[in-house]
Amino acid sequence: MITVGILALQGDFAKHAQMIEKLGQRPILIRTAEQLRQCDGLIIPGGESTTLLKLMKKHALWDAVLDFARPKPVFGTCAGCIVVARSILGTKQESLGLIDIDVQRNAYGRQVDSFIDAVDIQLNGTMDKMEGVFIRAPKIKRIGKDVTPLAWHRNDVILAEQGCILVGTFHPELTEDSRVHEYFLRKIKANLFGICRNSI
């Protein structure tokens, strides 16, 4: 069984845990570096990235996540995507720099606080439709040459990967559709077999 840590300092961690359980794997809610050491992969959920950042530092999880991500898979959704990005446009907000993307926070404007829309997703070579839930979502404004886009909303990349780091600007834990989590679990399995590696 795969053990998936869900960073549980703030935000939408419970739904991710339910999804991992539904897929027959073991979720652990992570609040300490010690708990993180037991995990094969980590999900950093949506919430508020500035709060998440402060709490990660307070709980000694900032450096611990950096160390964890050197060999292991991390999936950042929404605020989690902001936390793992290379840089956040227009602010001096710190980030972990685990994936070569630049993001803009709250990029859909104040009047579009949240919305659900059809998105295009390509996880196994074929293009499919999916429902995307966006809540005060960021936009990925630049992806590096080693980053692979995996899903799009209109012209925006909304899911992407580099090595074993996966990021999404939407909330796949808020629908019944488990394809994105299944994809992340496959990355964790590939990492356990030494097939998927991080370049950081």
Task: Name residues whose C-beta falls within 8 Å of residue 9's C-beta, 6 or more positions apart in sequence.
Answer: 31, 52, 55, 56, 59, 61
Q: Contact, 74 vs 98, CB < 8 A? A: yes
153 is catalytic: no
Residue 81's closest CA among 173, 6, 166? 166
Q: How many residues does the chain have?
A: 200
**Which residues bind to ligand GLN, rule: CB under 6 A?**
46-49, 78-79, 82, 105-106, 135-136
Residue appearing with tokens 């840089």: 87
Of 2 and 52, which has the nearer Cβ to ligand GLN?
A: 52
Active site residue 59: no
171 is catalytic: yes
Instruction: Supply the minimum distance, in Å, between the C-beta of residue 157 and ligand GLN.
Output: 17
Write down the catalytic residue from 78, 81, 164, 196.
78
The nearer residue to ligand GLN, 8 or 196, going by C-beta atoms, is 8
Read off the DSSP letter of residue 27: E
Residue numbers annotated as active site = 78, 171, 173
